[in-house]
Structure 1
C-alpha cells in the first residue's frame, strides 16, 4: 500500500478546499445574470408617478392568471422629481381584471388578496398591457 506524506496530503486538502470555494463563488454569481435581463417598458404615467412593466417577466400561471414584475416611481408633484421606487411582483387575473401584490421590494406578501384596481389608471394600464401580451 502506498503511504502519502502528511505535508503533501495537507497541501492537497488545502488546494481542494480552495477549488471548491472558487466554484461556489463562480456558480453563485448567476443571480447577477438574471438582474441584467430586466426589460422595463413604461406602461403609464400620471402626475403622481410612472408605472413600468418588465415585459420579459410575464409568466402564465394558468386559467387566465399571470405573474409579472412591475416598477412604480412615485414623483413629487411640486418638484417633478422621483421620491420613491418600488418593485412589485403581481399576480393578475386577466379574466376578472383583479390583481394581488405577492412581493414588494423583495419581501413576500403571504396575505395578499385579490383586489380591484378601482379606477387607478396605472394599475388599469399594467393589467391591460400585461394581459394583452399573453
Structure 2
C-alpha cells in the first residue's frame, strides 16, 4: 500500500511540473498595488484585431509590500479599440463579460499594449 501511495505522489508531482513548464509568465507592469503578468505562449488570435490571452494579477499590500491575492484571467482584447473583457477569472467563466475601457489603469494598459504588439 505504501508503494502505491508513493507512486501516486510521484505521478501527481510530475503532472504539476509539466503543467507549470507550459506557462511562460512575463512581468508586464508593476505598481505599488500590484504586478501584472501575461503568458506569452497563450496569445491566441480569435478574429481580426481580437486576441485572447491568459494573465495573472498579484495584488500587493502597498503598506507592507506583501502579496495578498493572486488571480488568473483569460481576457479577450480588441487591439483596434484597446478594450478588454475578462471571460474567465480563476477558472470560472464569465458569460456576461462586456467590453471595457482600461480607464487609465497602468497595469491593464500595459497588458493590452504588450499583447497587441505580438498579435
When Rg is computed on C-alpha atoms for both structures, the one with the higher figure is 1
TM-score, normalised by the number of residues in structure 2:
0.84
Does residue 113 (structure 1) correspond to residue 80 (structure 2)? The answer is no
What's 1:69 paired with? 54
Task: Tell me the SS of whatever aligns to 1:126.
Answer: helix
Structure 2 unaligned segments of length 5 or more: list them: 1-10
After superposition, the CA RMSD in angstroms is 1.7
Query: Following superposition of structure 1 onto structure 2, how do residues 1-134 of structure 1 map, counting pairs within 5 Å?
Result: 33-134=18-119
Question: Relative contact order: is structure 1 or structure 2 higher (C-alpha 8 Å, sep ≥ 6)?
Answer: 2
Distance 1:57 1:110 in 2: 20
Structure 1 unaligned segments of length 5 or more: list them: 1-25
Distance 2:16 2:52 in 1: 20
Runs of 4+ deviating beyond 2 Å: 29-36
Q: Higher strand share goes to which structure?
A: 2
Give 1:36 deviation, angstroms. Answer: 2.8
Paired residues in the alignment total 107
